[in-house]
């Protein structure tokens, strides 16, 4: 048992089985032993690879998206660009380089990051030193740490790591999935059936067969509402890109990945990334409650192609060796092909209502 397991075990022994969301929260964000509090999880030598680490073209397209939004906002002389979970800072570096020639954008920009990992913060500060990024520790609509300027928010593969609750239909009714300990190992168990849970289950799923699982991420809903509220108050837009679904289909999606392989979700807490499919339909409804508009979700392939990624690939290939050209083609395919990241990954934009055309959608 690792150190975090011992802490979780003591917690369960004292207060009983814990909701999946609590387990996920501690496994990922325990201040000392949480997965996102140690080391660098990204890249070949890490646990997983993300779109910006596959190709510079991804960040470049996001840069174009930001520039388009900024122009539609009337090119404000001061605005905040906030990235949530910037990883190694690669996306932002590629984005800002791609639009360096857009007159006024860089002068108007104040760069902010939300990041829990100290190691990644150091990498981001180094990579984006020219833009002097500021950090916020949490995001809430009442967040006084962001200046009251129009705000463009980017979150790539951030929401999938926010805690989810899992509900399961048993033969007796809807129950919550909990984590408990049995013979030194963490295992799933179910709460007693509880009719009050029915209110949390989408109507279409309430009478589903036993074994059906519904995942709900209150943290994602609250964060989306806060982002939307901030945008409604200050102007701007948010772009959420992640792997996800338009609506859940009754199957559990919580997964663990370590060293580029699937791992046991309850195996070694703090040593594997835990993620779940993002419920984009839910995020969209959450944003609308705050009076903002939304675009999408659309597949990442469709989104990147609408922003011109094919042209960009052609342009890069003009100056490439044969080997580089084939790497560009395979990155393009990986990012956009329906059988790769093109459909499973999706983009959703949240905007103020005066943004009438949203690039990429």
Query: Could you list the residues that contact ligand SAH (CB under 6 A)?
Result: 29, 36, 42, 50-53, 85-87, 91, 114-117, 120, 156-158, 161
Q: How far is the CB of 72 from ligand SAH (least distance, A)?
A: 24
Alpha-carbon distance of 226 to 217, in angstroms, equals: 14
Q: How far is the CB of 120 from ligand SAH (least distance, A)?
A: 5
Q: Which is nearer to ligand SAH, 46 or 173 (CB)?
A: 46
Q: Which is nearer to ligand SAH, 58 or 214 (CB)?
A: 58
Q: Which is nearer to ligand SAH, 115 or 168 (CB)?
A: 115
Spatial contact of 65 and 307, defined as CB atoms under 8 Å apart: yes
Degrees, nearest 5: CA angle 163-230-155: 45
Q: How far is the CB of 122 from ligand SAH (least distance, A)?
A: 12
DSSP 146: S
Q: Which is nearer to ligand SAH, 26 or 197 (CB)?
A: 26
Compute the half-sphere exposure of residue 118: CA atoms within 13 Å on the CB side of its CA: 6
Q: How far is the CB of 264 from ligand SAH (least distance, A)?
A: 20
Q: How far is the CB of 217 from ligand SAH (least distance, A)?
A: 12
Q: How far is the CB of 164 from ligand SAH (least distance, A)?
A: 13
Q: Which is nearer to ligand SAH, 69 or 161 (CB)?
A: 161
φ, ψ at 164 (rounded to 5°): -120, 150
Q: How far is the CB of 257 from ligand SAH (least distance, A)?
A: 11
Residue nearest to ligand SAH (CB): 85
How far does CA 124 lie from the centroid of its chain?
Answer: 17
* CA-wise closest residue to 194 among 216, 210, 172, 179: 172
Parallel/antiparallel/unpaired status of strands 173-182 and 165-170: antiparallel
Q: Which is nearer to ligand SAH, 87 or 235 (CB)?
A: 87
Q: Which is nearer to ligand SAH, 85 or 360 (CB)?
A: 85
Alpha-carbon distance of 332 to 55, in angstroms, equals: 8
Q: Which is nearer to ligand SAH, 154 or 181 (CB)?
A: 154
Q: Which is nearer to ligand SAH, 53 or 168 (CB)?
A: 53
Alpha-carbon distance of 93 to 62, in angstroms, equals: 11
Q: How far is the CB of 109 from ligand SAH (least distance, A)?
A: 19
Q: How far is the CB of 115 from ligand SAH (least distance, A)?
A: 5
Alpha-carbon distance of 290 to 225, in angstroms, equals: 6
How far does CA 169 lie from the centroid of its chain?
Answer: 28
Spatial contact of 342 and 299, defined as CB atoms under 8 Å apart: yes
Q: How far apart are the first and last CA of the chain?
A: 47
- Cis? peptide before 75, omega within 30° of 0: no
Range list of β-strands (E), the chain? 18-19, 79-84, 109-114, 134-136, 151-156, 165-170, 173-182, 185-190, 213-216, 236-245, 255-258, 261-263, 273-275, 278-279, 293-299, 345-351
């Amino acid at each position: 048992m690792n150190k975090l397991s011992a802490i979780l075990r003591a917690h369960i022994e004292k207060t009983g089985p814990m909701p999946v969301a609590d387990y996920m929260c501690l496994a990922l964000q325990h201040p000392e032993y949480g997965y996102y509090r140690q080391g660098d999880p990204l890249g070949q030598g890490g646990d997983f690879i993300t779109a910006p680490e596959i190709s510079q073209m991804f960040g470049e397209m996001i840069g174009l998206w930001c520039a388009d939004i900024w122009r539609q906002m009337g090119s404000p002389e001061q605005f905040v660009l906030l990235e949530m979970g910037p990883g190694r800072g690669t996306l932002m570096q590629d984005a800002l380089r791609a639009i360096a020639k857009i007159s006024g954008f860089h002068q108007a920009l104040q760069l902010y990051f939300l990041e829990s990992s100290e190691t990644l913060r150091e990498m981001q500060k180094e990579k984006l030193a020219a833009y002097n990024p500021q950090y916020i520790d949490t995001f809430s609509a009442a967040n006084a740490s962001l200046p009251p300027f129009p705000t463009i928010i980017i979150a790539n593969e951030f929401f999938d790591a926010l805690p989810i609750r899992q509900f399961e239909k048993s033969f007796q009714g809807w129950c919550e999935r909990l984590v408990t300990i049995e013979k030194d190992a963490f295992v799933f168990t179910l709460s007693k059936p509880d009719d009050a849970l029915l209110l949390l289950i989408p109507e279409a799923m309430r009478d589903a067969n036993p074994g059906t699982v519904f995942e709900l991420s209150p943290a994602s809903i609250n964060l989306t509402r806060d982002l939307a509220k901030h945008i409604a108050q200050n102007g701007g837009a948010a772009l959420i890109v992640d792997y996800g679904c338009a609506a859940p289909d009754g199957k559990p999606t919580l997964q663990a990945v370590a060293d580029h392989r699937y791992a046991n979700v309850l195996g070694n807490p703090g040593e594997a990334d835990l993620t779940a499919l993002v419920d984009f339909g839910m995020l969209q409804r959450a944003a609308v409650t705050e009076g903002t508009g939304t675009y999408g979700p659309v597949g990442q392939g469709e989104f990147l192609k609408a922003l011109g990624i094919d042209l960009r690939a052609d342009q890069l290939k003009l100056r490439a060796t044969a080997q580089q050209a084939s790497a560009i083609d395979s990155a393009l395919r990986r990012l956009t092909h329906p059988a790769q990241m093109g459909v499973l990954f999706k983009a959703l934009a949240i905007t103020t209502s005066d943004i009438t055309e949203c690039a990429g959608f």
